[in-house]
């Protein structure tokens, strides 16, 4: 059995641990690897390596750091297909989608290649007579990132390229469900020329995360995952005086106005609701048609599209939706469908009817796309994140009803409006209490040079990820006020608050 170990100080390091977690191929249900559960000794070794690497890396000029980052970027591009294959094998998403994920990660690396420019700061001349003021953005030290299973390449790359470009060293704690992609890009990090200890990987579950939270040599934590864990990490990290950005779960609504182009909306909705088997934090899981006429049209077309959507192993070239990540997650999603029926939502298409019969894949974690209509806001399937290919239709009588519904929801990660009406679209972007908003764009994931993050229970902390917010998160601001002697003595000591007058 393939054993996956930690990556510490530029090397794959055997652990004395006797505990390993199974890693499955979701398309076949077969156990394909085991990932180590790190011991306290492993954790200490990773933090010590990152701590030792930090001063030299922080003192390396931003331009030199950027050259190494550029090399890493080229290596990622050269190895794009292999990395996508690894993602598909352990996550289950279809190959084209896995490639898309790698490209979105690569874009953050490209952003981080601009480190010298990103670290430029403000300067004011003559804030007082002969006195100048300027700012510095300095790295924090050893920072850690804890990431979810659903984007094993893209989400870590929201974090570490920006952290490294700013001069920090980094410890990644990837999801134990699909840890191999991280091991692959660790090799590329070494090939690119990042010094040993600058980037490290520690595997494991809660005990590793707790140790990182409590460690006095780690001043900042980035987290992406479910809301209960995000809240826990934010609160516990803050109690240790750490800087924390913790991105949580989501329930993303798409409002469809009566004037929307139905065909374009259906195409967008199919990809946004069922792509990656709904295991995206920006997936649309609720569609809110305004008026029964548009709702009925949408329902008819979604039924037709679901009947022809190709559910197959992610390695099939024409697969549109792969399996869910684990058996436990498959059972959870099926449980939510049962709950929807129990709470009297109208089950229009039941994904549980799908059976994978292809030889060798009968034990894969497949489920078909599900559509519920007449879902109401008091139902569990509306309130909670399902994180599977289940779309709920909640009919609204008016635009205002749709907006109020979204604003009252616990989560505020992403949302979209489909309309031809500029007035409605503009009002929506201003009124909606959600961090990322699309106008005729179903999954409005910001590009690397903007910042990614939700509102409400979808993000705990002050900073979004990558873009300018990422640079702010991974640096401390220092402001310097300086006066150089002019050779003329200017009186004695002053005991009043300096005013620069």
In the complex, the smallest distance separating the C-beta of residue 223 from ligand NAD, rounded to whole angstroms, is: 7
In terms of CB distance, is 47 or 229 closer to ligand NAD? 229
The verdict on 190 binding ligand NAD (CB under 6 A) reads: no
Q: Which of residues 29-58 bind ligand NAD (CB under 6 A)?
A: none
In the three-class reduction of DSSP (H, G, I as helix; E, B as strand; rest coil), residue 123 is classed as strand
In the complex, the smallest distance separating the C-beta of residue 433 from ligand NAD, rounded to whole angstroms, is: 15
Q: What is the DSSP letter of 204?
A: -
The verdict on 337 binding ligand NAD (CB under 6 A) reads: no
The verdict on 385 binding ligand NAD (CB under 6 A) reads: yes
Region class of 13: left (phi > 0), else alpha (psi between -120 and 50), else beta: beta
The verdict on 198 binding ligand NAD (CB under 6 A) reads: no
H/E stretch holding 332 reads helix 327-342
CB neighbour burial string for 157-186, b if at least 16 within 10 angstroms, e if fewer: bbbbbbbbbbbbbbbbbbbbbbbbbbbbbb
Task: Please spell the DSSP secondary structure of 455-476, one letter per residue.
Answer: EETTEESS--BSHHHHHHHTEE
The verdict on 180 binding ligand NAD (CB under 6 A) reads: no
Nearest to residue 114, comparing CAs of 157, 168, 67, 153?
Answer: 67
Applying CB under 6 A, among 20, 57, 149, 170 the residue interacting with ligand NAD is 149
Q: Which of residues 60-99 bind ligand NAD (CB under 6 A)?
A: none
Task: Identify any residues that bridge with 291 across adjacent strands, giving them in sequence order.
Answer: none
Applying CB under 6 A, among 6, 15, 150, 245 the residue interacting with ligand NAD is 150
Task: Please spell the DSSP secondary structure of 24-74, one letter per residue.
Answer: EETTTTEEEEEEE---HHHHHHHHHHHHHHHHHHHHS-HHHHHHHHHHHHH
The verdict on 469 binding ligand NAD (CB under 6 A) reads: no
In terms of CB distance, is 39 or 413 closer to ligand NAD? 413
Backbone φ, ψ for residue 97 (5° rounding):
-70, -40
- Number of residues this chain uses to bind ligand NAD (CB under 6 A): 27
Provide the CA 331 distance to its chain's centre, in angstroms.
24
Enumerate residues 6+ apart whose C-beta is below 8 A from 330. Answer: 323, 324, 365, 366, 367
The verdict on 330 binding ligand NAD (CB under 6 A) reads: no
In terms of CB distance, is 286 or 349 closer to ligand NAD? 286
Burial class (CB in 10 A: 0-12, 13-18, 19+), 44: middle
In the complex, the smallest distance separating the C-beta of residue 405 from ligand NAD, rounded to whole angstroms, is: 19
474 near 62, Cβ under 8 Å? no
Exactly one of 35, 189, 221, 281 is catalytic; which is it?
Answer: 281
The verdict on 224 binding ligand NAD (CB under 6 A) reads: yes
* Candidates 81-89, 92-100, 172-180, 466-474; binding stretch for ligand NAD (CB under 6 A): 172-180
Per-residue binding string, ligand NAD, 233-252, x by CB under 6 A, is --------------xxxx--
Helices (H), 93-150: 95-112, 115-118
In the complex, the smallest distance separating the C-beta of residue 72 from ligand NAD, rounded to whole angstroms, is: 22
H/E stretch holding 150 reads none
The verdict on 281 binding ligand NAD (CB under 6 A) reads: yes
Active site residue 113: no
Applying CB under 6 A, among 100, 116, 195, 205 the residue interacting with ligand NAD is 205
* Candidates 77-85, 145-153, 180-188, 436-444; binding stretch for ligand NAD (CB under 6 A): 145-153
In terms of CB distance, is 15 or 419 closer to ligand NAD? 15
Residues in contact with ligand NAD by the rule CB under 6 A: 146-151, 155, 173, 175-176, 205-206, 209, 224-226, 229, 247-250, 281, 385, 387, 413, 454, 458
Q: Which residue numbers are catalytic?
A: 281
């Amino acid at each position: 059995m393939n054993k996956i170990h930690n990556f510490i100080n530029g090397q794959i390091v055997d652990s004395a641990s006797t505990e390993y977690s199974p890693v499955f191929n979701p398309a076949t249900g077969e156990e394909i690897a085991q990932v180590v559960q790190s011991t306290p000794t492993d954790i200490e070794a990773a933090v010590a390596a990152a701590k030792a690497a930090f001063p030299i890396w922080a003192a390396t000029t931003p331009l030199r750091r950027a050259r190494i980052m550029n090399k890493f970027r080229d290596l990622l591009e050269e190895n794009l297909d292999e990395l996508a294959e690894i993602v598909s094998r352990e996550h289950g998403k279809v190959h084209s989608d896995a490639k898309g994920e790698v490209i979105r990660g690569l874009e953050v690396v490209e952003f981080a290649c601009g480190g010298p420019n990103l670290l430029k700061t403000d300067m004011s001349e003559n804030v007082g007579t002969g006195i100048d003021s300027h700012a510095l953005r300095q790295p924090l030290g050893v920072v850690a990132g804890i990431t979810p299973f659903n984007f094993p390449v893209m989400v870590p790359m929201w974090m570490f390229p920006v952290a490294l470009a700013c001069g920090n060293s980094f410890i990644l704690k990837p999801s134990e469900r699909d840890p191999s992609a991280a091991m692959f890009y660790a090799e590329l990090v070494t090939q690119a020329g990042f010094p040993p200890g600058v980037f490290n990987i520690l595997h494991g579950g809660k005990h590793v995360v707790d140790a990182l939270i409590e460690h006095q040599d780690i001043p900042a934590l980035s987290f992406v995952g479910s809301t209960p864990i995000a809240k826990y990490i934010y609160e516990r990290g803050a109690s240790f005086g750490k800087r924390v950005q913790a991105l949580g779960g989501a329930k993303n609504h798409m409002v469809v106005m009566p004037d929307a182009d139905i065909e374009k909306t259906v195409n967008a909705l199919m990809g946004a609701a069922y792509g990656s088997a709904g295991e995206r934090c920006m997936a649309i899981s609720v569609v809110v048609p305004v008026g029964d006429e548009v709702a009925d049209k949408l329902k008819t077309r979604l039924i037709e599209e679901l009947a022809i959507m190709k559910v197959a192993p992610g390695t099939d070239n024409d697969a549109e939706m792969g399996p869910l990540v684990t058996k436990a997650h498959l059972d959870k999603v099926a449980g939510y469908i049962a709950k929807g029926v129990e709470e009297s939502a109208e089950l229009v298409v039941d994904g549980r009817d799908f059976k994978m019969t292809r030889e060798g894949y009968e034990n894969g974690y497949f489920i078909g796309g599900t559509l519920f209509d007449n879902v109401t806001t008091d139902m569990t399937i509306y309130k909670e994140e399902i994180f599977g290919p289940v779309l709920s239709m909640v009919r609204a009588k008016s635009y205002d009803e749709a907006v109020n519904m979204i604003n009252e929801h616990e989560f505020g990660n992403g949302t979209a409006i489909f309309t031809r009406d500029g007035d409605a679209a503009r009002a929506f972007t201003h009124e909606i209490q959600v961090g990322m908003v699309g106008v005729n764009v179903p999954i409005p994931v910001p590009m690397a040079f903007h910042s990614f993050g939700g509102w409400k229970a979808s993000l705990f902390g002050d900073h979004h990820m990558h873009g300018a917010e990422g640079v702010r998160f991974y640096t401390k601001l220092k402001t310097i006020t300086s006066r150089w002697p002019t050779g003329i003595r200017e009186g004695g000591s002053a005991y009043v608050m300096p005013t620069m007058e």
